[in-house]
Structure 1
Amino acid sequence: MSAPSLQALIGAALLAAGRPVTVRELAGVLGVPEDAAQRATDAFAARVQGADLGFVVEAVAGGYRLVVPPVTAPHLAPLLSPPPLPALSSAALEVLAVIAYRQPVTRAEIEAMRGGSASTVVTLQERELVKVVGRSDAVGQPLLYGTTERFLLEFGLTSLGDLPPLESGNFAHLLRG
């Protein structure tokens, strides 16, 4: 039996990890240079995309993972676990948007920008979408909030740089359900 190709090893690694894996990690595990791991990952992703296999390679949170394409997810709902969390309220989405675009940010700053309560910060922390990232130098040293890797995963973002410009108002594609 011959040794598996680098693309086959990349695919196996992404499947086995079950989480986003960086090119640096792939290169280290497979003992190849990062540029070779990147080329093989790109080639594997293109091959999978063209083969209509029921899964795709997604670049997210600084790495790559295998996912079910959104078009097939409704057909597989009974098999997918854990069950999806209830949708976030509009207030929670507003608070999350303020944190994502203005981080690090204090609760008082969130409330001032929203013109209302930021009580949903607790819900966002429970869902591991935001976390405390430090303390402000302001009086009382209030907590500073920022987004988490889970935020990137849930919204299909590679990095915060993938957020659409605030002026565009084009946020619908981020809400993946």
Structure 2
Amino acid sequence: MPPQVEAEPDGEPAEQAADQIAFDINDFPGGARTAIEAVLMVVDQPVTDEELAGALEISPDDVLGHLKDLERQYDDEQRGFALRAINNAWRIYSRADYAPVIEKFLLDGQHARLTQASLETLAVIAYRQPISRSRVSAVRGVNVDGVIRTLLTRGLIHELGQDTEGGAMLYGTTPYFLQRLGLGSLEELPPLAPHLPDVDVIDELVEQGHG
């Protein structure tokens, strides 16, 4: 049976309703440039100017011009962050000049206790790595974007590259994770994996969540 598409109150499928989101980019304060900034603040991996152009419904050339202007602006103002393009994809990064500040903040943060949500998410990643964000969400039944960012910041997980099939970012635990647990390798983890869904079940949950 094909996955059911949730209907909006007026009876239209949710996917069609999403396609009907319309706006005039010039109606936003600051226009396209500030709209690009807003998108860059929420992306969890670099985006291309073509992707931004499609989302904002303006030309890639205009997007590229705004990106380069923002890059120069941040550099001229010596902001704590910088806009950089790596492999033709753009993302906002903390400026390298402030690495000592960032390092101290992250190290100090290691002493704070993880929340229950963080511990549960970390367990899923540890036993099912490499695993994508959507699959972690499927297992836990909640959005894990904020928790993933916390675990990345703490240095307990890291990005392992993109899934060859769907292109989603995959995550796994770090050597620091093993160090904190006093383990020599992942093989020394307690036998909790049987209590987590199999990969096929996780895939089914992901499909249901996208239905």
TM-score (norm 1): 0.46
State the structure with more CA Rg.
Answer: 2
TM-score (norm 2): 0.39
